[in-house]
């Protein structure tokens, strides 16, 4: 079974503008069958989205973007789990829980990628090789890193606004329409990343949203 998947989306449970329900609805409209809401340091966005999507054609993979001592790491699991912030402990815990560990935008320093540390570890399950919110230069470096390390590559939107969802995505070959099959497809590199960039107007809207959110946070 071939499905389209965007596995890096943010909701109102961290710094995204859209609620988990809105994200599920937009995914349906855009033909995405698999998504992961990877809010910063919390599984709550994806867990809420799972409830909304339980009777829909969208499969929500429990996910989180963890701010580790080295930079941002995406973690995909079959269920919500506790996670440490020290990267070596995170990798150990993730694999014990049958989760995937994927460096997010590794060479985008403005978004706290882990940089060359990506070469220090061999236990990555995949590399986010294309992030539609990152610079082309940093994405090209990530593509090369995945090639050198022999790891599967993922392309994701890193959406914070609904219009960004699906701007980059993956074509997955899965055996069954469930979480374990999606994780296994990534592990076995049955994934084709589809590169894309968000339109200029959408990038401006993202900057406006970030500024509005910063002001609201400042005056709370």
What local confidence, expressed as pLDDT, does residue 220 receive?
A: 62
What local confidence, expressed as pLDDT, does residue 141 receive?
A: 98
- In three-state secondary structure terms, 153 is strand
Tell me: the pLDDT tens digits for 54-108?
888 999 999 999 999 999 999 999 999 999 999 999 999 999 999 999 999 999 9
Tell me: the pLDDT tens digits for 155-205?
999 999 999 999 999 999 999 999 999 999 999 999 999 999 887 777 787
What local confidence, expressed as pLDDT, does residue 217 receive?
A: 62
String of b and e for 185-198 (b: at least 16 CB within 10 Å)? bbeeebbebebebb
Copy the structure tokens of residue 193. 């990343």
What local confidence, expressed as pLDDT, does residue 171 receive?
A: 98
Does the pLDDT value for residue 45 go beyond 80? yes
Copy the structure tokens of residue 140. 């090209």
Please give the average per-residue pLDDT across 6-21, as a whole number.
96
With cut-offs at 50, 70 and 90, classify the pLDDT of residue 210.
confident
Query: Where do the H-state alpha helices sit in 54-149?
Result: 87-96, 136-149
Copy the structure tokens of residue 43. 């599984």
What local confidence, expressed as pLDDT, does residue 54 receive?
A: 84
Rounded to the nearest integer, the mean pLDDT of the chain is 94
Whole-model pTM: value is 0.94
Class of domain 2-218: alpha beta
Does the pLDDT value for residue 212 go beyond 80? no
What local confidence, expressed as pLDDT, does residue 205 receive?
A: 77
DSSP letter at 158 equals: -
What local confidence, expressed as pLDDT, does residue 5 receive?
A: 98
């Amino acid at each position: 079974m071939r499905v389209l998947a965007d596995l890096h989306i943010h909701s109102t449970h961290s710094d995204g503008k859209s609620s988990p329900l809105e994200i599920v609805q937009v995914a349906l409209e855009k033909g995405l069958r698999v998504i992961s809401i990877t809010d910063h340091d919390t599984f709550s966005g994806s867990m809420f989205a799972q409830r909304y999507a339980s009777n829909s054609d969208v499969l929500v993979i429990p996910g989180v973007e963890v701010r580790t001592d080295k930079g941002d790491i995406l973690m995909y699991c079959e269920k919500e789990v506790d996670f440490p912030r020290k990267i070596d402990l995170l990798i150990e815990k993730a694999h014990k829980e049958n989760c995937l560990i994927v460096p997010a935008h590794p060479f985008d320093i403005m978004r706290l990628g882990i940089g060359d540390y990506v070469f220090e570890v061999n236990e990555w399950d995949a590399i986010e090789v294309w992030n539609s919110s990152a610079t082309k230069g940093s994405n090209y470096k990530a593509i090369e890193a995945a090639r050198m390390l022999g790891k599967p590559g993922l392309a994701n939107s890193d959406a914070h606004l609904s219009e960004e969802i699906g701007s980059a995505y993956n074509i997955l070959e899965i055996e069954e329409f469930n979480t374990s099959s999606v994780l296994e497809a990534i592990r076995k590199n049955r994934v084709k990343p589809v590169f894309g960039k968000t339109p200029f107007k959408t990038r401006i809207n993202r900057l406006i949203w970030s500024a509005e959110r910063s002001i609201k946070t400042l005056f709370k």
